[in-house]
Structure 1
């Protein structure tokens, strides 16, 4: 059970990165040209706009990715 949770959190991390990067390419995110304001603005945009609308997709994707990662690990273990 613990190993499955590790793979779930790995999938969750991948989904957070995927949606964060996808949110940066959204037309609603505005760049100011000042690097630190862009970083703060991107986190603010992610928390206030991306997460409220995509949380269910992130959770479902995390479960799917965690299952795939765990299945790949078991498959590699059987090949050895």
Structure 2
């Protein structure tokens, strides 16, 4: 869901779990530590106080996703993975 939202240019409020840090790497998007409701509250407050900042972050993230997470790149990555598996299983 995060990848799709980022590709659509939606402002992101998310925790630092799973593959989310890979999606937001090298951007100004701040991720919330997991299990930290106070940090979530602060991030929501910042969004309400400065929505323009979140719109700018969303555009930066949208551009990263469009460049890094194309269907071609994802398919190439999966193909390389399977080829490595086939080589090592012989």
Same fold by TM-score, threshold 0.5 exceeded? no
Q: TM-score, normalised by structure 2?
A: 0.38
Question: Which of the pair is proportionally richer in helix?
Answer: 1
User: Higher relative CO (CA 8 A, sep ≥ 6), structure 1 or 2?
Assistant: 1
Q: TM-score, normalised by structure 1?
A: 0.41
